Structure 1
Amino acid sequence: MPSAPLINALSSPTDQAPTNNGYAHLDIAGVIGAELADPLSHMQQIVAGILESGKISRRHIKQLGYMIEGARKTAMQSQQLARLANGRLRQSHEKLRLDILLTQALAENLPRLQAQDILLQQHIQPVDVIFDPGLLMSLIDASIDWISLRGHHLNVALNLQNPPEFSLLRFTANPRAESALKPETPPEFEKLSWYLLMEVTRTMGVKITRTVSATETVLSLEFQRSTPPPLEALDHAETRSRVDSWQMGGSSAINGTAPLLVTDDPKLRRTVETICLNMGLELNCAANSTRAARYCAQERPPLMIYDERCNDEVLETLQSELTRHDPNFPFIEIVDESKTLMMSTWMSDTITRVNTENLRTMLPRALMTGLSRKRSPV
């Protein structure tokens, strides 16, 4: 049974959340069941058709992928909600670029939004905030999930309000008369993402309000301790990659935004290079832990990505040295394990684990989260 904070979190500032009847855990159980029922039912139908025909098409594979992703999202949100409610959370307050994390999250969700015939419009100003990075990403993800209504126009605006005191993130959804799909109406039952939003905002101290009507749905988040980033932080890094870069001399990246990749796998290196290229990032590479240590002795990278096969005693010593200077130094470990479904930034420590199967979808998020951190004390 969830603890008291979760039950208290069900009272929305605009009285839109379910009435607190003392059985909030049963309400949430019903929401989880309802959200899992649809994808599981569709998966059952697809599997039955495959068994009957003895064939599987690309369309079936794509549909199964969507259904599995929907069920996975529900499972992840349930786990996050339970951890928050039970207080099993270690926060690390750091300066983060809210605009960068928000833009990346919207880009990752764009294919899903387009499939739902949602027209996205963005008005995002550069903003620094001080929060736990994993919690902030969870808040952004849950917000996008809750406000995503089929056949709507979605406007996302991030602005500084009376700087440097606070910033306002506002999501506004309006039905599209020209939509090819019937515009979705707010569901009769709460989405699981709303319960997660209420608990995350309570934990972070973020003010949340919402209004829901037939013509407009608005979600507003007010962040305290917000400031505009320095002008030099707005510059973009050049896009190029170098192998064992310390041997070539020169700066590793403009404004120190080049991660260090440790791997001797050419295929993995090319994949990570491509991801960084698409993100406008320079990437430095070291073939093994010894070369990585040599590189770090000359210049400390802002983030380290390493192949789990390179994780030896030398690399562990290097990790200890980096975290000694910066306890929140971000590491991304690439593992070959299908059970690694989520990043662990706010679940355990400073190491984010991404599996090779989901590398192209999960690594950009991990990179943006790590690189958005400020290294100076806050």
Structure 2
Amino acid sequence: MDLTELNRATALPPAEVAPADSTRWRDIVQALSAEMAMPLTSALERVQELTSTGRIDRASLRALGEELRQARRTAMTGQQLARMASAAGRQSPERLALADVLRQALEARASEAQARGIAVRLSLQPAEVMADATLLFNLVDNTLGWALAHACGPLELQTDLKQWPVHARLICRFVHLPADQSANTAAREAAHAGLDTMDWRLVEQAAWACGLTAARRIEGVTTTLTFEFPRTVNDTMEGVSAVELGEGHLAKPLAGNHVLVVASRRDVRMQVRDALRNMGLIVDFVASVDEARDFCRGGLPQAIVIEAALRGDRFNELRKEVRTSGTDVAFIEIIEEGSTFEVSGFGGLNTARVGRDAIATSLAPALTFELAKVA
């Protein structure tokens, strides 16, 4: 069997191609359709009444205008979603101060916050990230627009650094229901449901395009939204800093690097696929260490990502074979529990580790870091 045949034999079947992505877009289209249909249905009823009676009062005319404007805003949001999706694969990452981007977005939204009577409270720690400037600004701007639309009191914005893994964070917190309605169960449920607008979909899409996770937590009448930035400029990592990666190895595109993923479980394969989809890598999947050894005989990849459950004597033999070949290959292990990234060479580890809960946020930077060490 030649390498081409082997690639075909070990590739995921068509039914497994990015179901998470297709499901996400299906949900977005459904939400977009519903949000447009509601004001347009009401507007159509008013137009039909106008056609029937030849009359419309000023209140109904104002309502008709607002319904049409609402439908237009939703349609424009749909256009933004489409543009953001196409821009996700054409990024130009650069070193950015997160607090500066937040201040710029706040300046753009200052009149809106003033008109709504929303005070903004800032708690900003220095934090630098590697990101596309336009996409990052869009993320912050859309987050502010969504938060201002729902805040019933001061808007709290915070930037800080999570200690391990060292990730910059952007945190947005606000009360989404007035205090005098907090005891009303129906009002609380309506306020919670009201947060899931197309503006929220835009925030989710912007976070996805930037390679971030958006963790939204609702406690009582308070909403807290936290973004973590896996590509954080950090000079404390052993051997090479994120700044050096950004100015050196990351300046060389990773596109074309070959990664072999050894995972027997479909859900793990899909998590890895989603985490690496925007890196321009060549990614192949096999379900066992024996298949991985056969694959490597046809040509070694630059990195091997393996599910921890498959590690054992056969994998150790594979690793020995790789070492004796004289080719440097990065190894990353997906451990079953945890949300951290441990670099190889740190604390005696000879293989980098990424917790399964951190695949979405940490696998891509972990792979970037490990590939830089063997480049």
TM-score, scaled to structure 2: 0.43
TM-score by length of 1: 0.42
Q: Which has the higher contact order (CA 8 A, sep 6+)?
A: 1
The structure with the greater share of residues assigned to helix is: 2
